[in-house]
Amino acid sequence: MLAEIDWARKEVIRELRIPTASFRSDSAFMAPLINGVTHIGNRVFVAMWNFIAEIDYEKFAVVDAFSHPNMADLHGMSTDGKRLFVASTSLDAVLCFDAESFELIWRWGPDVPLLAGHKPASQRAFYESIPLFGDRLAERPLTFVEGEHRALHKSRSGFRRHHLNDVVWNPADGQLYVTTSHWFEELGGAVIRLNPETLEAEFVAPPDSFLGTHDVQFVDDRIVVTESRGDSAGWVTGAGEVVHQPLGQMPAFVRGLHWTGESFLTGFTRLRESSDPSWIVEFDRDFEREISRMDISGFFPTEQGCAIHAIAPAPKSA
């Protein structure tokens, strides 16, 4: 479900349910989730499980959609106005598509050296126990196998190690910033800077910097993220310092972040087995003061609930 909210009035003014499917079997999985949203003018794009839908903002209706075999549990999405960038989480990959032809331009991950390094101590010990070639094997990238991955769940994927969450294009430097929820399951998440032209990548915040690194916003000289499993926001300063700021909203899953130019809108989702509604909180620029909030109640039946996955400005207010 995509919803347009009038934040001043704290009202949902339009809703759109995206046609999709939901199924689960021993070998395949698909869920009716929207995990990412971006727009080019009045063309709004939403990332579903294994396809991207295009919505006409004025009509608030689906006008097109496309898919690709490498779309597997899509998460965050952004654009530079000509290309669409999306995280394919079950593959630990970032995909780049032409926004007009919808053709795949490139794929980054999971078979890249940067995603093979920084193994936790337990895994390093295993490789070090292998005579002669242990260190070399420890840093060897995965071998990616092209094929049909659209029904691949992350729990059954041999490619997912870090759970890529979001990919955001920064117009200030023309770079992409990619967040990971964790690193090899044992370490906390990272922030990666990815050049969309050369596909060269480096860590802005190394593995174990954040707890469930998710959304990205650029404010002053800071790269600001949500810590989805830490009830906190965090950021990397221009000097490279990693900062954590508790939000005081537990128990909740923190996901969805937008900088309005004056404040942060931050999404909170009830934990499983809870009947509490999801909610959005407006914070000051340092997340020290709550300015206002909106409960997302009545948006879904109580037994189904509502999970906030992304917050983005509507085209007219961007």
E strand residue ranges, 109-263: 164-170, 175-180, 182-183, 187-194, 201-210, 213-219, 222-227, 232-236, 242-246, 253-259
Q: What's the Cα-to-Cα distance from 157 to each of 47, 249, 260, 268, rounded to whole Å?
A: 20, 32, 37, 28
Q: Return the higher-pLDDT residue of 87 and 185.
A: 87
Q: Using one digit for the tens of pLDDT, what is the confidence trace for 31-66?
A: 777 789 999 999 999 999 899 999 999 999 999 999
**Strand pairing of 43-47 and 36-40?**
antiparallel
**pLDDT: which is higher, 118 or 287:** 287
pLDDT digits (tens, 9 = 90+) for 188-238: 999 999 999 999 999 999 999 999 999 999 999 999 999 998 899 999 999
CATH number reported for the structural domain that contains residue 9 in this entry: 2.120.10.30
Instruction: Tell me the residue range of the domain where 299 lies.
Output: 2-317
Q: Total structural domains in the chain?
A: 1
Question: How sure is the predictor about 318, in pLDDT bands with cuts at 50, 70 and 90?
Answer: very low
pLDDT above 60 (res 248): yes
pLDDT score for 26 = 72
pLDDT of 156 strictly over 90:
no
Q: Using the CB atoms, write b or e for 173-211: b if 16+ within 10 Å.
A: eebbbbbbbbbbeebbbbbbbbebeeeebeebbbbbbbb
Q: Which residue has the higher pLDDT, 142 or 58?
A: 58
Q: Which of 1-15, 133-147, 156-170 has the lowest mean pLDDT?
A: 133-147
pLDDT computed for residue 301 by the predictor: 53
Q: What is the percentage of the chain residues whose pLDDT exceeds 90?
A: 68
pLDDT per residue over 104-115, tens digit each? 999 999 999 999
Between 25 and 244, where is the model more confident? 244
Q: CB of 224 within 8 A of CB of 244? A: no
297-308 tens-digit pLDDT: 766 655 555 688
